[in-house]
Amino acid sequence: MMASVQPTTEPAGLASIPRHIAIIMDGNGRWAAAHHLPRALGHRRGADAVRRTVEACIAEGIAVLTLYAFSSENWKRPADEVEDLMALLRLYLKREINDLHQNGVRVRFMGALKDLSADLQMMIKKAEARTINNKKLTLVIALNYGSQAEIVMACKALAQKAVAGEITPNEINCQMLANHLQLADLPQPDLVIRTSGEKRLSNFLLWQSAYSELLFLDILWPDFNAESLKTAIRDYQGRERRFGGR
């Protein structure tokens, strides 16, 4: 039985520290172009920003950080760029997993992981297994992820249960569907950040972000740092969260 999504318990009023921050890491290519460097180097500088952001989240007491690393639509990019991104992920897991583990970070993945190469799937399983008992920060990496596909899979699972007679169609509600999304045991994101100045969610956590605060920053992802995170948190704390109540 899948765990239920944890509903927000934060009362209406000014927000406190967000429990869950989700980030659309955008702008690696534009950063590279602005510095007259190859796109691959922009992605590598983006990986450095991931390290800084994880450290900053630990320092700020954030419980969950979800990063949109590779969307299901990113396969449309040039093959050499896709391969570079996958190689960078392998390098990140090899290089960072020890530090993540020692710093109490639990690593989890979401997305269509079965479509990835066998060696990468094995690295993902090992990283998740090694860090499973860590509690200081949960780092979720959305990889080959698309929110619409995730919702469709949840609907298919409910349809199969209905066909099997385990539930009736009339029993299906929002909470039941939410329970069949990936990582349904985690709190929904309080704050969704997108860098690079773009103002859209790009198929990222569409269901989970129904009542998230959204923040669009002009900064390119490789330039994101601890001060950027603090600024985002201060912005979030200045907002009044109503959740449709008034």
Residue at 234 is within a domain: yes
| Mean of pLDDT values over 13-41 | 92
In the residue annotation, 26 being an active-site residue is answered as yes
Does the annotation place 200 within a ligand binding site?
A: yes
Does the annotation place 43 within a ligand binding site?
A: yes
What confidence tens digit (pLDDT) does each residue in 194-227 have?
999 999 999 999 999 999 999 999 999 999 999 9
Within 10 A of 86 (CB to CB), how many other CB atoms are there? 17
The tally of domains found in the chain comes to 1
Residue at 23 is within a domain: yes
Does the annotation place 26 within a ligand binding site?
A: yes
Does the annotation place 72 within a ligand binding site?
A: yes
Tokens of 114: 């079965």
Q: How far apart are CA 223 and CA 244, in angstroms?
A: 35
Using CA atoms, how far residue 45 sits from 42, 77, 127, 231, in Å, is: 5, 19, 22, 21
- Give the structural domain span for 127: 17-146+188-241
Question: Is residue 26 classed as helix, strand or coil in its secondary structure?
Answer: coil
Does the annotation place 213 within a ligand binding site?
A: yes
What confidence tens digit (pLDDT) does each residue in 139-193 have?
999 999 999 999 999 999 999 999 999 999 999 999 999 999 999 999 999 999 9
Residue at 166 is within a domain: no
The CATH number of the domain holding residue 208 is 3.40.1180.10
Residue at 178 is within a domain: no
Q: How far apart are CA 136 and CA 58, in angstroms?
A: 7
Residues 48, 123, 19, 136, Cα dihedral to 10°: -90
Please pick, among 74, 103, 134, 203, the residue that the annotation labels catalytic.
Answer: 74
Residue at 78 is within a domain: yes
In which band, very low, low, confident or very high, does the pLDDT at 15 lie, cut at 50, 70 and 90?
low
Within its chain, how far is the Cα of 115 from the centroid?
18
Residue at 27 is within a domain: yes
Q: Which residue has the higher pLDDT, 3 or 70?
A: 70
pLDDT at 6 over 50: no
Residue at 91 is within a domain: yes
Does the annotation place 239 within a ligand binding site?
A: no
Residue at 1 is within a domain: no
pLDDT score for 240:
86
pLDDT score for 242:
76
Task: Please give the order of strands across the beta sheet that includes 20-24.
Answer: 105-110, 137-145, 64-71, 20-24, 191-194, 213-216
Q: How far apart are CA 192 and CA 85, in angstroms?
A: 23
